[in-house]
């Protein structure tokens, strides 16, 4: 059996180990409490290259896969490959795509890769003068070097920008790493990431994900390493991915080759989808954490084989299919993370059968069934294994990934499982994936309503709001309608379209207590007046909010649905704000 060494100790490395362990004997240096259970932990630090190389040689390791950026930027590729050991990691030169923001931005400019306009500065006075001469805010200030994910500030005013520049460039907040800075335009849109494997000539897309960087629900509070993730990228249609490939990934790989960056490893594209399309926010020369914990469980391909083929110069032969499932990853952190937190707390509920008494209610029984049989994986991050169990050993402690046919399904599996886990001071966000679960249900009576409905759904698609569209007729398929409306879960607003003397919105309103918005279609001899009258004049107790006849009514219906959702969901408020712009 092949022997694989994985370098790192986080949830990302646990997920990589989990993915490759079927085909190999896996070692993780230094690993965590979770990798201890599926692999052999080796207590060597990620930057102790001499000891790592000795271990790899004496143990006969066939392949080493590197997780974090630090050993890559310090030259782990060189240390291993100089003695003929196979390693999946870019060279020190390649690592500059992450380790120097100035290098990365100049690279993007040179190869015509879409990114925000920028200026680079090595002297505080010049950077400050640039800020003073500028009238466009917010502005983004990035420390040139590695700053553990904390080196990016979005300054809303000139004062904030000058303060940031002073702390970075004069006070040396991140030492040498912040002595030089990039100042760039602030881009608005939906952030997402795409991960590829590349050998600097070819590439294969491994997958994409959205990360939840803020600590609190509704994307509030301080930035963290990531409190959860969702994969694949919910709004990334084939067409959009094609654009990312053509405008961003291909020219990047061309640039890597042209510059001779000696790159054989993962490449992380931190992207944003703006009104003008995709743009690069950053490159990282590794996989993301916690994106990897969502991507690995749904990856349709053999990661170990892909890594081996890449190192043999046969990346072209690697087959990675589009994921068929969705994944939602929720991070359990220690209270106080990302600032100050305690460690050394015992974690219970990891082995559900042992730690939990028999389910006490039907709800608990269903949750138990989901947790046992339903698709989920628990990845460890800051944990350690002791004789009597697993203990917390870091700020981000666990990543629980739910897998399902839909985001709703994956989300409920992740949350059903994480609710069974406990440690003192455990904290997790409650809204990971929420934005991508469908809240709006649009029903029309016939396939021919599709084009009419698109006047509203186009807006939802532009704003990145998921919805479900169903064709069920109230008079042709009444039984199906009753069955569907009585049994679905998750939707919070229903838009029902009807032409002629409408039944659909009224029948639905009679079957549900959710808000129903009726849209009369301008069809038939009365051109929608009949539909309008029958909708607007509902009997007492069966309310239907009636929109105007025709496409304007359809547009208002989706905006009205968003207004209802905006009472509860910050993402709906944000979407309405974007719509007004």
In terms of CB distance, is 381 or 440 closer to ligand GLY?
381
Nearest C-alpha neighbor of 553 from the set 529, 580, 579: 529
Please state the separation of Cα 180 from the chain's center in Å: 30
Q: Name the residue number minimizing CB distance to ligand GLY.
A: 288
- Look up tokens 């994307």; give the residue: 219
Report the residue number, 184 or 291, with the smaller CB distance to ligand GLY: 291
State which residue, 90 or 505, has the beta carbon closest to ligand GLY.
90
Stretch (H or E) spanning 207: strand 203-211
H-helix or E-strand spanning residue 434: none
Residue 225 or 251: which CB sits closer to ligand GLY? Answer: 225
Task: Tell me whether residue 197 or residue 532 sits nearer to ligand GLY (CB atom).
Answer: 197
Q: How far is the CB of 423 from ligand GLY (least distance, A)?
A: 22
Q: Give Cα separations from 395 to 17, 340, 398, 459, 480 (angstroms).
A: 21, 8, 9, 40, 49
Q: Is the Cβ–Cβ distance between 462 and 483 less than 8 Å?
A: no
User: What one-character-per-residue DSSP string does 19-57 give?
Assistant: HHGGGEEEEEEE--TTHHHHSEE----TT-HHHHHHHHH
For the segment 215-254, give every residue that binds ligand GLY (CB under 6 A).
226
Which residues are registered as beta bridge partners of 280?
115, 271
**Shortest distance, CB of residue 313 to ligand GLY, whole angstroms?**
28
Other Cβ atoms closer than 10 A to 359: 14
342-346: list long-range contacts, CB under 8 Å, 24+ apart: 342/392, 342/424, 342/425, 343/382, 343/391, 343/392, 343/393, 343/394, 344/391, 344/392, 344/393, 345/391, 345/392, 345/423, 345/424, 345/425, 346/388, 346/389, 346/390, 346/391, 346/423
Give the per-residue contact string, 142-161, with ligand GLY (x = CB under 6 A; - = no). Answer: -------x------------
Q: At what angle do helices 158-165 and 124-132 cross, to 10 degrees?
A: 180
We find the least distance from the C-beta atom of residue 285 to ligand GLY, in angstroms, to be 11
Cα first-last separation, the chain: 58
Nearer to ligand GLY (CB atom), residue 121 or residue 195 = 195
Residue 237 burial (C-beta neighbours within 10 Å; 0-12, 13-18, 19+):
exposed
3-state secondary structure of 533: helix
Is the CB of 284 or the CB of 473 nearer to ligand GLY? 284
Report which of 383, 386, 421 is spatially closest to residue 400, judged by C-alpha positions.
Answer: 421
What residues contact 467, with CB distance under 8 A and at least 6 apart?
438, 439, 440, 441, 442, 457, 460
Shortest Å, Cβ 459 to ligand GLY? 30
Nearer to ligand GLY among residue 290 and residue 349 (C-beta): 290
Q: Which of residues 269-308 bind ligand GLY (CB under 6 A)?
A: 284, 288-289, 291
> Quick one: 333 or 523, whose CB is closer to ligand GLY?
333
Of the pair 225, 374, the CB lying nearest ligand GLY is at 225
| 211 part of the interface to ligand GLY, by CB under 6 A | yes
Asked if 98 is part of the footprint of ligand GLY (rule: CB under 6 A), the reply reads: no
Which of residues 291 and 434 has its CB atom nearest to ligand GLY in the complex? 291
Report whether 67 contacts 6 (CB < 8 A).
yes
* Residues 6 or more apart in contact with residue 83 via CB below 8 angstroms: 53, 57
68 binds ligand GLY (CB under 6 A): no
Residues that bind ligand GLY (CB under 6 A): 149, 211, 226, 284, 288-289, 291
């Amino acid at each position: 059996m092949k022997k694989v060494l994985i370098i790192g100790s986080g949830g990302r490395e646990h997920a990589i180990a989990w993915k490759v362990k079927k085909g190999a004997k896996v070692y993780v240096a230094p690993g965590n409490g979770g990798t201890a259970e599926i692999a052999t932990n080796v207590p060597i630090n990620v930057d102790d290259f001499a000891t790592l190389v000795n271990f790899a040689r004496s143990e006969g390791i066939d392949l080493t896969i590197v997780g974090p950026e630090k050993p890559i930027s310090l030259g782990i590729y060189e240390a291993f490959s100089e003695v003929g050991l196979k390693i999946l990691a870019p060279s020190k030169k390649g690592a500059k795509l992450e380790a120097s923001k100035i290098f990365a931005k100049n690279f993007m400019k040179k190869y015509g890769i879409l990114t925000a306009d920028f200026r680079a500065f090595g002297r505080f006075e010049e950077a400050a003068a640039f800020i003073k001469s500028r009238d466009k805010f917010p502005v983004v200030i990035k420390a040139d070097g590695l700053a553990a994910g904390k080196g990016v500030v979005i300054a809303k005013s000139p004062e904030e920008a000058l303060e940031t520049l002073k702390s970075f460039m004069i006070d040396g907040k991140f030492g040498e790493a912040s002595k030089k800075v990039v100042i760039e335009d602030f881009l608005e849109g939906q952030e997402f990431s795409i991960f590829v494997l590349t050998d600097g000539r070819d590439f294969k897309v491994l997958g994409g994900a959205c990360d939840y960087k803020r600590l609190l629900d509704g994307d509030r509070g301080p930035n963290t390493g990531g409190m959860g993730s969702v994969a694949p990228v919910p709004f990334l249609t084939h067409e959009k991915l094609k654009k990312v490939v053509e405008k961003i990934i291909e020219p990047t790989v061309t640039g890597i080759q042209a510059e001779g960056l000696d790159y054989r490893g993962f490449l992380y594209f931190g992207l944003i989808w703006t009104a003008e399309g995709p743009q690069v926010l950053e490159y990282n020369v590794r996989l993301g954490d916690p994106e990897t914990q969502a991507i690995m469980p749904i990856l349709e391909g053999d990661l170990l084989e892909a890594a081996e083929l890449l190192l043999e110069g046969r990346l072209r032969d690697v087959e990675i299919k589009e994921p068929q499932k969705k994944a939602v990853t929720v991070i359990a952190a220690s209270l106080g993370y990302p600032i100050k937190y305690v460690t050394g707390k015992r974690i219970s509920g990891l082995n559900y059968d042992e730690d939990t008494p028999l389910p006490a209610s039907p709800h608990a029984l269903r949750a138990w069934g989901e947790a046992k049989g339903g698709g989920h994986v628990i990845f460890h991050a800051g944990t350690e294994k002791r004789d009597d169990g697993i203990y917390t050993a870091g700020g981000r402690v666990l990543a629980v990934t739910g897998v399902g046919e839909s985001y709703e399904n994956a989300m409920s599996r992740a949350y059903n499982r994480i609710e069974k886990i406990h440690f003192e001071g455990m904290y997790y966000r409650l809204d990971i994936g929420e934005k991508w679960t469908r809240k709006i249900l649009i029903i029309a009576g016939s396939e021919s309503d599709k084009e009419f409905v698109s006047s509203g759904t186009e807006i939802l698609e532009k704003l990145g709001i998921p919805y479900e569209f169903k064709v069920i007729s109230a008079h042709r398929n009444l039984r199906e309608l009753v069955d569907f409306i009585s049994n679905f879960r998750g939707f919070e607003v229903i838009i029902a379209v009807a032409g002629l003397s409408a039944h659909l919105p009224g029948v639905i309103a009679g079957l549900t207590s959710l808000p129903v918005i009726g849209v009369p279609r301008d069809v038939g001899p009365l051109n929608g007046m009949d539909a309008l009258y029958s909708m607007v004049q509902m009997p007492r107790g069966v309310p239907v909010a009636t929109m105007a006849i025709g496409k304007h009514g359809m547009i208002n219906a989706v905006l009205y649905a968003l207004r209802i959702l905006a009472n509860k969901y910050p993402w709906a408020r944000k979407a309405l704000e974007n719509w007004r712009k």
